[in-house]
Structure 1
């Protein structure tokens, strides 16, 4: 929970090494009153030092990736998974590709570089760039998996990076049983121009040892699907064409009005650009006072200076420090076979122990992002009322639907409410939405709100809007209008205005996509961010939960697991064999996917329909069974799950609402003790629809859902008997 009001916005553009280290430092010692935002296209960022080892097969992908979602949680920052495409310096806003702008008081740029070669014909369609690293790593794994007997690889650029990746590629393919043909092209007359003579000789010998063909003075002019054409007319066969040639800045920097050097942001000793409110670090920056080649070592050593200077600027206290890069640095170049060549000041060493040394350095760096220190929690007061510790529970309260009251407690609370007296009101307390008869149709009215589970309030706005409209769609209605209810944490008036602007812009777009409008609302200041919407809809025919018939097919339109994944992210739980940030990003993608099309398809033939939300799949299926006077059978193997959800459930990870969901069905559900069965009780936020379909219509409806790109699945059948669920 936020302790102090927010007064300043710091936006970090990119998840490069300098920003990653800065976020870790920030988590250890945050500056009160600052809202930190990191914007990055993906939930993870690769560590460059381990890339050649990954290409060679020595490191798993997850071992070289920094989980930005987990890092942002530790730092108390919001992470926005989007791409920066511009800066409006006059308005103090960063423009994003996928949504409205984000405001800043101070900003920092650490977006890396690209090794794309757009001037070469065919490159965009058939070439792979070593930078950004994430896309290259994925493309390489897919290529290795093809299992070609004689894979042909052409690498453009014979600098240190090109040589290192050529050696790694040859080693990996040979270890896989292939007979690789790796060709390294250098357009200049000499390979490895920025390394000492001794190290150059050692690396050239490694190329010869691995059978890598080096061609200097060779310039590629066209990349085809299976070949690289050179300016002399020669054509080289290539199954995988990689560019490591040069370094290119991102194009949008040219539109910022900042002083640039060859397209890179020009910064002085304090790492400030020509605009004092914008800093830059890493490969995207050019040190005007001490120009250096592009290398990760400089980004790492810039991080403490960047962190200190941003804190000085944000607090308006203290003096900034200057960054003075070292004149030369130790280059440890891996050779693919767990060997390395060292170069500094022209001295050269080559030995396996150098690889082990490099491996220890790289693993020590990544260990800083593998587990974060646990911040001390305040002790319970003493004395205190009986039951205080039990009411607090063993873990933090989940957000989203995981923060809702359990089904049993809710039923007891609503039991004493009187039935509606107005004959036009067709539903009573406990229904998901009110249905009001209006002429020849029906008005459907519902309200929902969510306690924030992510600091990205734009993301929360879209998820909450879709979640609130779920009950409208589930009753066969179309959304018409919405009122917003927003509780903001304490912050300055300017930050209040910017936060509301972001929330309402995303919400308005989401409702407009659904054919509805926001017509007003209410705001207040509270302890934490909460977003809610009251929504009205219109239906010519209302689909209730009580129409399921024996023999109907049960269909689910979204995978389960959002509650478990969000609980794991809040607790900082490691995902076995994977990256939790990517799994959480998958959950976000599922939650932000509009179910409007699925609802339109299902309402044509569903006998019963509901959205799967806080009470979990089992709880909402039981509502259908109770209302219809039927039982149900589920096939656990057919129920779609979000990636990572089952692995986390196997560790015992669960939302705070899951135990109440399970308890509400004691004696009415039979299921094995498995992770997949545990997810039947997982509370879903902006979940999918659960529909009962006549068997005769199931095939055509499923075909329509799948054709529309909806990940629907048949998960069971409606059976005869008293309300009860059997999961096998």
Structure 2
């Protein structure tokens, strides 16, 4: 549901750590009116550290390990920015993320964890995988474990974290059939030296039971592709080397203009840094008032205090103090489904303790599963006829999912008088107008989109690429653009911040495409809408919908599925990774593709009417039919599963009804043919003899292009063949 109140303050959460995940969940239950909430994270998910050893051992899947930040942000009504922060200018209150305009804040909180990378160790960056950040490590381990038999593993750092990893790795490899795998735990001193005696002895026995080799008093001098070189000249063979030796702050955090303690942000009891508008939690923070070791239990218990204090700072309330516990129950995985528990010097171990740990971890993660966005407003009992039919049973989609249907548009345009002009060569229905001035041929188009993501930078990229699609579809070169922006109600300060993000992004996209921004218009409304009017210059000829010939091959340059993925995202049903991948496809420009397909017989861009609707446009204008090999159509990750689960864009039914003459089986691939696309690919009818060479060129440029069918002589008939 869109904000009911004007936005006046920016709260930015940097990082998707445990504390911030819990704050987002609490915010969904009790938002502060007037606040625009943003979360910035390098990827769409954030792994939960408590389950990492279990994941490494094979007890949990990757999906079970990860908190889906895209779904959580949607649930909380927050915008999510996928990118790695590399600096915060505390004086100007600007957060820097590469390749985008700075993000302004009024209040920010930092929860980015730590790293276990060892840049001072020669070869580590090139040949080793740090155990933290967890997401990168988990991905690398998954791939290595799937492709390697009987490897040698080396873990540098013999603390509890390193020992846990070693036992988990050994268990996983042996369970997978690598009976001769060698797992080595390497430390410059003695392993587990920080554990109390009882717990240490039990851990040493567990390490031996899992077959872990201990290499102590080893001074590592270099990491190579084949192993670890020690100062005494000995080489330890290793096919997978990781580092788990202590907590190292991220370099950019250590460089902030704040009070820093050994690279970590010093905070007071309110979790506030030396700057009153910057908070820090989790492993990247140093509790200067009551120092504690780095442990996830503190991050979890900081969450309610941070939530209250962020609200207080943004609304003029009083801050409260966080009081960390003196000790806590440490539950350590022992590789198999057994765990060791230690507290106050007492240690126990066994399968029951694993069950306890598993229960605690799953209870934490279950808070982020099955989220549903805020319900739509209740419809009164008595309403005008037809209101419920228009509302439907789901919220209206954004992007091209919010378009008027093809049939409705055609019927409305058919009532216009036929105003023919000598200098206007195109007809209603073409992707863009074709205009002539002297010896110059120019195309002109306009398009705007209702926001489907709350990040104005991503939305601007999508809207710009979408509008440029009509120019590229005619094999023209973008020339100039004007921008039309409707901002949601917000304060003057937030208007300026948002417009700056939009205009910097619009300039970058249009400049990359070869066009200049020459003006525009801004206003305020209920929600963010971004549009562009674009002109382009034609060098050879403008390619239209007409011209396809029987026997032509059909080429598609991008996969389909964005409509159903973004519809699912609105309902917290789409996997964050699939959403991120879909957005990447939508923000991919097609300058090179347009040039490669410049000799196509007919071409269009696939947008709101879906692949079937836009193919029907080519068939009608060209007086032909088409056959589509559904198995050859590239599809975005996750789209088919969402269709099978019953998710549809709000424009799907209209698109299906508006395309006559389609013969299709009732399958998910057929349904995707009517899925509205935003900033979709180019669909071109080309000489069949040239098709494969064109696809090869497109793929060499990075486009996931494919030959998806042929043009037939069955006029108006489209066969979807599975």
TM-score range, shorter chain: over 0.9
Question: Corresponding residue for 1:367?
Answer: 366
Question: Corresponding residue for 1:426?
Answer: 425
Question: Corresponding residue for 1:617?
Answer: 611
Deviations 1:420-442 (A, max 9, x none): 33211112333321111122231
1:595 aligned to 2:596? no
3-state SS in 2 of match to 1:84: coil
Question: Corresponding residue for 1:252?
Answer: 252
Q: Is the 8 A contact 2:507 2:517 kept in 1?
A: yes
Q: Which moved more, 1:225-234 or 1:346-355?
A: 225-234
The alpha carbon displacement at 1:610 in A equals 0.5
Q: Distance in 1 between matches of 2:378 and 2:699?
A: 52
Question: Corresponding residue for 2:233?
Answer: 233
Question: For 1:686, which of 679, 686, 690 is the aligned residue?
Answer: 679
Question: Corresponding residue for 1:557?
Answer: 557
Task: Report the TM-score when normalising by structure 1.
Answer: 0.97
Trace 1:454-465 onto structure 2 (pairs within 5 A).
454-465=453-464
Question: Corresponding residue for 2:568?
Answer: 568
Question: For 1:638, which of 606, 613, 632 is the aligned residue?
Answer: 632
1:715 aligned to 2:708? yes
Trace 1:113-512 onto structure 2 (pairs within 5 A).
113-148=114-149, 150-178=150-178, 179-188=180-189, 190-317=190-317, 319-372=318-371, 375-512=374-511
Q: Distance in 1 between matches of 2:373 and 2:283?
A: 32
Q: Distance in 1 between matches of 2:351 and 2:304?
A: 32
Q: Distance in 2 between matches of 1:436 and 1:709?
A: 32
3-state SS in 2 of match to 1:598: helix
Q: Is the 8 A contact 2:269 2:289 kept in 1?
A: yes
Deviations 1:587-606 (A, max 9, x none): 00101111111111111x21
Question: Corresponding residue for 2:35?
Answer: 34
Question: Corresponding residue for 2:577?
Answer: 582
Q: Distance in 2 between matches of 1:671 and 1:246?
A: 59
Q: Distance in 1 between matches of 2:481 and 2:91?
A: 33
Question: For 1:670, which of 657, 663, 676 is the aligned residue?
Answer: 663
Q: Is the 8 A contact 1:402 1:655 kept in 2?
A: yes
The alpha carbon displacement at 1:412 in A equals 1.1
The alpha carbon displacement at 1:376 in A equals 4.3
The alpha carbon displacement at 1:671 in A equals 1.1
Deviations 1:110-130 (A, max 9, x none): 011110011111111110110
Q: Is the 8 A contact 2:628 2:718 kept in 1?
A: yes
The alpha carbon displacement at 1:98 in A equals 2.2
The alpha carbon displacement at 1:377 in A equals 3.5
Question: Corresponding residue for 1:650?
Answer: 644
Q: Is the 8 A contact 1:155 1:166 kept in 2?
A: yes
Q: Provide closer, same or farther for how the CA distance between residues 211 and 382 of structure 1 changes in structure 2, counting only shifts above 3 A.
A: closer
Q: Distance in 2 between matches of 1:201 and 1:117?
A: 29
Q: Is the 8 A contact 1:27 1:74 kept in 2?
A: yes
Q: Is the 8 A contact 1:9 1:34 kept in 2?
A: yes
Q: Which moved more, 1:588-597 or 1:436-445?
A: 436-445
Q: Distance in 2 between matches of 1:72 and 1:260?
A: 30
Deviations 1:238-288 (A, max 9, x none): 011010011111111233211101111111100110111100000000100
Q: Is the 8 A contact 1:483 1:518 kept in 2?
A: yes
The alpha carbon displacement at 1:571 in A equals 1.1
Q: Is the 8 A contact 1:123 1:223 kept in 2?
A: yes
Gaps of 5+ in 2: none
Q: Is the 8 A contact 1:39 1:81 kept in 2?
A: yes
Q: Distance in 1 between matches of 2:691 and 2:453?
A: 37
Q: Distance in 1 between matches of 2:320 and 2:472?
A: 57
Question: Corresponding residue for 1:106?
Answer: 107
Q: Is the 8 A contact 1:196 1:344 kept in 2?
A: no
The alpha carbon displacement at 1:710 in A equals 1.2
Q: Distance in 2 between matches of 1:467 and 1:378?
A: 31
Q: Which moved more, 1:425-434 or 1:494-503?
A: 425-434
Q: Distance in 1 between matches of 2:394 and 2:201?
A: 58
Q: Is the 8 A contact 1:42 1:82 kept in 2?
A: yes
3-state SS in 1 of match to 2:139: helix
The alpha carbon displacement at 1:374 in A equals 5.6
Deviations 1:473-508 (A, max 9, x none): 101111111111100010000100110010111111
Task: Report the TM-score when normalising by structure 2.
Answer: 0.98
Q: Which moved more, 1:89-98 or 1:493-502?
A: 89-98
1:628 aligned to 2:627? no
3-state SS in 2 of match to 1:471: helix
- Give the number of aligned pairs: 718
The alpha carbon displacement at 1:724 in A equals 1.1
1:702 aligned to 2:702? no
Q: Is the 8 A contact 1:269 1:287 kept in 2?
A: yes
Gaps of 5+ in 1: none
3-state SS in 2 of match to 1:550: coil
Deviations 1:268-317 (A, max 9, x none): 10011011110000000010011111111111111111010000000112
Q: Is the 8 A contact 1:330 1:343 kept in 2?
A: yes
Deviations 1:170-229 (A, max 9, x none): 0000000112111101112x3223322111111100111111111221121111111111
Q: Distance in 2 between matches of 1:350 and 1:721?
A: 74
3-state SS in 1 of match to 2:694: helix
